[in-house]
Amino acid sequence: MNPIIDRAVRRVGQGLFWAALLLVAVPGEAAAAVPAESQFVFNTFSFLVWGALVMWMCAGFTMLESGSVRTKNASVICLKNIGLYSIAGLAFYFIGYNLMYVDVSGWIGTVTFLYGPSGDEMALLDGDEGATEAVVSNGYSVMSDWFFQMVFVATAASIVSGALAERVKLWSFFAFITVLTAIIYPIVGAWTWGGGWLSDMGFQDFAGSTIVHSTGGWAALAGTIVVGARRGKFRADGSVKSTPPSNVPVVTLGVFILWLGWFGFNGGSQLALGGAVDAVAMSNVLVNTNLAAAAGVMAAISTARPIFGRVDLLAGLNGAIAGLVAITAGPDMVDHYWAIIIGAVGGVVCTVGMKVMEILKLDDVVGAVPAHLVAGAWGTLAVCIAGGGDFGVQLLGVLAIGVFVFAVSLAFWFLLQKTVGVRVSETVEEIGQDSAELGIEAYPEFVVMPDADDMEELRRS
Torsion of Cα atoms, 262 then 266 then 271 then 276, to 10°: -110
Within 10 angstroms of residue 300's Cβ, the number of other Cβ atoms is 31
Tell me what the mean pLDDT of segment 345-364 comes to. 95
- Between CA 367 and CA 321 the distance in angstroms is 10
Residue 73 near residue 430 (C-beta atoms within 8 A): no
The pLDDT tens digits of the residues spanning 419-438 come to 999 999 999 999 999 998 88
Per-residue pLDDT, 454: 64
The pLDDT tens digits of the residues spanning 89-107 come to 999 999 999 999 999 998 9
> E strands along 268-395, which residues?
none
Instruction: Map residue 234 onto helix, strand or coil.
Output: strand
The pLDDT tens digits of the residues spanning 233-270 come to 888 877 888 888 899 999 999 999 999 999 999 999 99
- Between CA 188 and CA 355 the distance in angstroms is 29
pTM of the model: 0.88
Q: How far is CA 322 from CA 181, 210, 252, 297, 354, in A?
A: 23, 12, 15, 9, 11
CA 281 to chain CA mean position, Å: 21
